[in-house]
Each structure stands twice: as structure tokens, then as C-alpha cells.
Amino acid sequence: MATACNKHHYPPRALIRSFILDLSDPHIRSLFTPKDWTEITASISPLPAPTTSFLRSLPITSSLPVFERAVLDLRIERAANGSFSDRDLWLFSVLDRMTLLFRHPEALHQQHLELWYDMHIWSRVIDDAFFGSPTFFLERREGICVSTSERRNRYRSTTTTATTSSRRTTTTTSSSTRPPRHRLGTHLDGILRLTHSPRTELGAIETARAFTGENSTKWLSDSTKLTRTLHDMLVHLNRETRGDAKVLRKLQTVGIVNAGRAMQVKRLAWAAGTVCVLKTEERGEGSGGGDREGREGG
């Protein structure tokens, strides 16, 4: 792989130089034989398919009255069981917000800052899904990644630089001998941590105010930043598991890129040795409203 990097003159910060194979990159795929590529893609497990009962609970319609009636029927059906589960409460939180946006689709076509989308859309879809979990918690707004900080300070072993003479040891503070400062990790818009071990991180979120294309500078920089952060988290998990291959094969770090109404999920998994595989899921984007005649007709 190092030979391929030098032969093709990849830029210094290219993912492949960190032994990250991006499955969505056709050029990376061309470096391997079909047999090897099949083995590489098989190293990251697919997302679990949604259950039939969950799919049935999602109203699919462009008419507001039909949508609201379907949500009401679903609420009555779940209430008949005697109580709502946490999953039910999350589902209704999302559907209730969808109903409000369905009633006022013009709100999605106005100019907003990224915090507006976090508060009114993504907090319901993402944050509420982890709320109350005994295993994970989602830290929001400019969290500092511990895993990246560990990598940046891996060669730092002292806070002072001492010079020894025949009489005594003195501490110097000149710029040429001063030890490196402790470097902070990446600032992120969201970090998923283990509840019992907050320094163990499993996922990250980066947000932007608007989606202007997958080739835009903001989208590309956020995607690269997120991928490198997921790699740092996976390296930390490798140390936590003491390099146990059986455990590592079951682990993935997950990243979410939000830009306005757009969302894309990235998953990073260990393949073998020092090689990781990046799987980028299809980007989704809200349409911003339903059928106006259906809204007024009700």
C-alpha cells in the first residue's frame, strides 16, 4: 500500500496514507483485484435492516390530513398495549416534529444557521435516540475528542525539560528547549461516548448550515475531518481491547455529517493489521414539505 501511495503521488493527508480504504473511491478500488476487493468489502458488516413493524409505523404520504391521521392511529395502537417504550417515545418525537414541519414547509426553505437545524430537526432524529440509554450518551456542541488528543500527544512524556550540571538540575524555559505543549483533540459538534467510560468514544457528528454539494469545500473538509476522527477512535478501541481481533471485528465507529436538511452516515471498521475500511452510506435529504392541496383540503 505504501508503494501505491508513492507511485500515484497521493497528497500527504490522503486517507490511504493512513491505511484507510474508502469503499466509495473508484480509484482505490482499481488498486486491488476483484477477489481482494470482495474480501475487503466483506470486512465491514452491513447496517441491520429495519424491522417490518418499524416500517409499518412510518406513514408514507404527501397529504397532511392522511399523515396526521396515521400518526394518531399509531399512537392509539401503541397506547392500547398499556405503556410506551423508549423506542415508541422516540418515534413519536420524530413524527410530531415531522407533523409541525409538514404544516409549515416554508420554514425549511428559509435561511437558517446550523443550530436551527440541530434544534428543530436533528435533535429529534439523533439525540433523542440515545436519550436515557444506560450504555451511551451523546455530548453536543464543541466537544473535544479524547482519542485525537491521545494521538497528538503520544510522544509527549514530560512537562519540563531538565539540563543536568555537576551541581544541580535546572529547568529551562527557552523556546528551543521547552517541551511540547499538551495538544487538544478535534472540536466536534457531537461525540458519542460510553456512559461508564466517557474517554471511550464510538462516534462523532459534524454539522453545517447548508448543503451546497458533495464537492463543496465545507462538505469535503467535514467528511475528511470526521473520517480521521473515527480512525483515532478505532485506534483507541484497539488499545482498550488489547488488540483482540475477535472483538475488533465486531466494532465500528460511526460518523454523521449534517448540512442543512442533508445527512450522511460514515462507518469505519478494522479490516486486518493496520488497515481500516470506510463505508459511506447514501446521502439523504428532506424534501421540505408535502402536498399543499392536501394540507389545505383537510
CA-nearest of 197, 176, 200 to 251 is: 200
Confidence (pLDDT) at 182? 86
CB 178 within 8 A of CB 161: yes
Residues paired with residue 140 on neighbouring β-strands, in sequence order: 190
Confidence (pLDDT) at 167? 47
126 DSSP assignment: I
The three-class DSSP label of residue 143 is: strand
The three-class DSSP label of residue 141 is: strand
d(CA 107, CA 100): 10
In this structure, how many other beta carbons lie within 10 angstroms of the beta carbon of residue 135? 9
Confidence (pLDDT) at 197? 93
Confidence (pLDDT) at 48? 86
Confidence (pLDDT) at 145? 94
Q: Cell numbers 454523521 label which residue?
A: 256
From the number of C-beta atoms within 10 Å of its C-beta (0-12, 13-18, 19+), residue 263 rates as buried
CB 194 within 8 A of CB 240: no
Per-residue pLDDT of the chain (298 residues; tens, 9 = 90+): 555 555 566 777 789 888 999 999 999 999 999 999 999 999 999 888 888 877 877 888 888 899 999 899 888 888 887 778 888 899 999 999 999 998 998 998 888 999 999 999 999 999 999 988 899 999 998 889 999 999 999 888 777 654 444 444 444 444 555 667 888 898 999 999 999 999 999 999 999 999 999 999 999 999 999 999 999 999 999 999 998 989 998 999 999 999 999 999 999 999 988 899 999 999 998 765 555 444 444 4
In this structure, how many other beta carbons lie within 10 angstroms of the beta carbon of residue 143? 20
Rounded (10°) CA dihedral 180, 185, 187, 191: -170
Residues 6+ apart with CB under 8 A from 10: 16, 17
Confidence (pLDDT) at 288? 58
Confidence (pLDDT) at 164? 45
Q: Which helix (H) or strand (E) holds 257?
A: strand 252-259
d(CA 225, CA 261): 20
